[in-house]
Amino acid sequence: MKALMFKAFGGPEVLEYGDIKEPVIGPDEILVRMKAIGLNFADIYRRKGNYHLAGEPPYILGYEGAGIVEETGANVHGISVGDRIAFADVPYANAELVAVSVEKAIPLPETISFEQGASVLLQGLTAHYLTKDSYPVKKNEIVLVHAAAGGVGQLLVQMVKLLGGTAIGLTSSMEKAAAAVEAGAAKVFLYKDDWKRQVLEATNGKGVDVVYESVGSTLQDSFEVTRTGGTVVFYGMAGGDPALVDPRMLMDTSKTLTGGDLWNVLTSREERVARSNELFQWMEEGKVKVSEPTVFALSDGQEAHRLLESRKSMGKILLIP
């Protein structure tokens, strides 16, 4: 089979498209022929050697995608050849065929395309747990969303609105600001402007109820625009490591810092399916919309990585075998 691989850590140029042995499934696995594969920043971090990678080179990136079941293991029940399957946390997805543990196989409804399934699961389930678990958004709350035009950002904005809150977005350009407004943000400010002053003015000086912080280097700024007694949810550091937080500041302002990681939430197949079904239902009802992805052939993986790393993309990037 064909796969996107690399043998040494580095830039996009280390990626190679070529032949590799097909995976052999175990008794509790299914073999999925991939129709669409999601590209994420974690793939860049792993390619650079910043994230742990199991096994020996050549390495295959990718953890998210959707496709059709081609073979089932001896112990597999309830899943048949020909079924439509998606997943958010299965390794070696940058290939034509992927061995998927039954525990991580999520049935994909006919109403959701393979491209939508590969676009929404990782980012959609992240936005889902952030707004329902890390900090359950309540009616009339004001929520600040960093990187509001990104894949998770646009979904966060939509879910905040769906749950009755008001979203304020932060982006890096007017083009991205327009995408955040289209997603449902009431106001959008640019990082290059005096956004802290703008956020405080927009909230009559009180600050927002909660900040979804994914940049990292802006963590202290996020606290400065959070109301007394408010919360900052830290779930990413795309812009660099955060500064250390002084616990005395938290005490003096009654503010809360909490973290979020999807893998602490997706702890069973039941959890994956239940959360995915709610996400799919919101999509079917038109309450959550996934923007059109940018699509590359799997063989053009280098170019896809360059685009994602440039931070000029909006929404999801997909690789198609």
Order of strands, sheet of 208-213, starting from the edge strand that comes earlier in the sequence: 187-190, 166-171, 142-145, 208-213, 226-234, 256-259
pLDDT per residue over 147-158, tens digit each? Answer: 999 889 999 999
**Euclidean distance between the first and final Cα of the chain, in Å?**
10
Per-residue pLDDT at 73 exceeds 90: yes
In this predicted structure, what is the pLDDT of residue 151?
86
**HSE-up of residue 135 (Cα within 13 Å, Cβ side):** 27
Give the span between the Cα atoms of 67 and 164, in whole angstroms. 34
In this predicted structure, what is the pLDDT of residue 292?
87
Model confidence band, residue 237 (pLDDT cutoffs 50, 70, 90): confident
In this predicted structure, what is the pLDDT of residue 315?
73
In this predicted structure, what is the pLDDT of residue 230?
98
**HSE-up of residue 185 (Cα within 13 Å, Cβ side):** 29
Q: Where are the domains of the chain?
A: 2-120+264-320, 139-259
In sequence order, what are the residues at sequence separation of 6 or more whose Cβ sits closer than 8 angstroms to the Cβ of residue 196?
221, 224, 225
In this predicted structure, what is the pLDDT of residue 274?
96
Burial of 225 (0-12, 13-18, 19+ CB in 10 A): buried
pLDDT-wise least confident of 20-24, 143-147, 165-169, 262-266 = 262-266
In this predicted structure, what is the pLDDT of residue 312?
77
Pairing of strands 142-145, 106-107: unpaired
In this predicted structure, what is the pLDDT of residue 294?
93
- Phi/psi at 28 (nearest 5 deg)? -105, 25
Pick the CATH number of 139-259 from 3.40.1410.10, 3.30.420.40, 3.40.50.1370, 3.40.50.720: 3.40.50.720
In this predicted structure, what is the pLDDT of residue 265?
92
pLDDT per residue over 192-202, tens digit each? Answer: 999 999 999 99
DSSP 71-98: EE-TT--S--TT-EEEESS-S--SBSEE
Model confidence band, residue 245 (pLDDT cutoffs 50, 70, 90): very high
Cα distances (Å, whole numbers) of residue 161 to 132, 157, 254, 304: 13, 6, 26, 31
Model confidence band, residue 311 (pLDDT cutoffs 50, 70, 90): confident
Cα distances (Å, whole numbers) of residue 10 to 3, 6, 43, 44, 47: 18, 9, 12, 9, 6
Per-residue pLDDT at 10 exceeds 90: yes
Per-residue pLDDT at 80 exceeds 90: yes
In this predicted structure, what is the pLDDT of residue 51?
79
Are the beta carbons of 235 and 156 closer than 8 angstroms? Answer: no
Percent of the chain with pLDDT over 90: 89
- Phi/psi at 266 (nearest 5 deg)? -85, 75
**HSE-up of residue 278 (Cα within 13 Å, Cβ side):** 14
Give the span between the Cα atoms of 129 and 262, in whole angstroms. 7
Per-residue pLDDT at 45 exceeds 90: no
Mean of pLDDT values over 255-265: 94
Per-residue pLDDT at 52 exceeds 80: no
Give the span between the Cα atoms of 196 and 189, in whole angstroms. 9
Per-residue pLDDT at 310 exceeds 90: no
Mean of pLDDT values over 218-230: 98
Per-residue pLDDT at 59 exceeds 90: yes
Superfamily (CATH H level) for 2-120+264-320: Medium-chain alcohol dehydrogenases, catalytic domain (3.90.180.10)
Other C-beta atoms closer than 10 Å to the C-beta of 238 total 13
